[in-house]
Amino acid sequence: MTLLSRRACLAGALGGVAGAALHRSPAVAAAASDDLAVRVTNLSEPVLCAEKDNIDLRFASPDVRSCRIQAVHPAFIGSIVADRWAPDFTSCDMSNDPSFTAKARRVTFFESTEFWLTGYAYPSFWRPADVPFRVGDRVEHGLHVVQLWMLHQERAEEILVIYPPDGYWRARPLPPAHMRWSAYGSSFLVGPVEVQERPIVALREISFDPASRTFTIAFAGGGSATLRLTAIDPDRQILDVGFDRSMPGQAPFAALRSMYATEYNCDVARTAWRAPGAKGWGESPILDWKGADATELWAGRLVASRHNTSAPDMVFSHFSKGPPVAAKP
């Protein structure tokens, strides 16, 4: 499977966590000015193919030990009447993409009344699947994608996915009340970002703790990170990330990967950022943005697109030298 066709597969494919704090508390808001500023570099480039991840924002700082990543429904979510999520391969040429074959299969790691975790091996993928995935004493090899599901209003909702071969993640909130489903959109990387034909994070192993809803990811070059599902509801999903050390060789510690062909055919069209000491937010069309030092960054859309219409905006914030701080009411 190619990176381009990953989007097509995802298109088909609450207890204590629901309703947890989705906004900064007064104490956290007062401390916002103390958030660490990180360098965000924009390596995006224009393309014609709507299924290529041409949006590439990379986050770097030698001091970061934690951050927060949120998937938030777009501002226009309430106005969506007809959603669109089918892939658009117009002007896409995937004939030269690498492909490694495998035996298709499905596994279920665990299942509770609220959450369950499943993994899939596809018939082919653009990288070999050799990253072991562990839940308790069970270890599975050769998986291309692992999906976290939850039960919401008597429906199964896929809320978070990780691709072990290249380290890509996708997240989405629960669907809003007037919709039975919402789309995935942008991807993100957590860990030392490097380029192996395209940006990836090379992983040595992944494990998941169902009790704390925490993924532990060990990097191929050393070091590790945790990614915890802190909160989810029909507005947003909050993920808190912690790193055990700085990235090697001043590598980025995270990246946003998305697509933009035109404003009516995109998953991300604009960005807004909060610069250290600034009196207000900066805003820019995504391809025009030159990058900046930022304590918080939003990437998303202000008008509906024909591509993954309901896909969430992404927010990166709470950059800190300390460990992750859980969201509070």
The secondary structure of 207-267 as a DSSP string is EEETTTTEEEEEETTS-EEEEEEEEE-SSEEEEEEEESSPPGGG--SEEEEE-EEETTEES
- How many structural domains is the chain composed of? 1
Residue 84 is predicted with a pLDDT of 72
In a domain, 183, yes or no: yes
Residue 258 is predicted with a pLDDT of 96
In a domain, 158, yes or no: no
Q: Residues 271, 297: contact at Cβ < 8 Å? A: yes
| Two tokens, residue 129 | 């699947």
What domain range is 284 assigned to? 3-88+173-320
- Go through the chain and tell me how many residues it has: 329
| Two tokens, residue 190 | 């957590």
Give pLDDT tens digits for 173-224: 999 989 888 889 999 999 999 999 899 999 999 999 999 999 999 999 999 9
Residue 180 is predicted with a pLDDT of 84
In a domain, 306, yes or no: yes
Residue 67's DSSP bridge partners are: 241
Q: Which of 146, 22, 12 is nearest to 72 (CA)?
A: 22
In a domain, 223, yes or no: yes
In a domain, 251, yes or no: yes
Give pLDDT tens digits for 219-264: 999 999 999 999 999 999 999 999 999 999 999 999 999 999 999 9
In a domain, 108, yes or no: no
CA–CA dist 308, 183 (Å, integer): 6
- pTM, to two decimals: 0.88
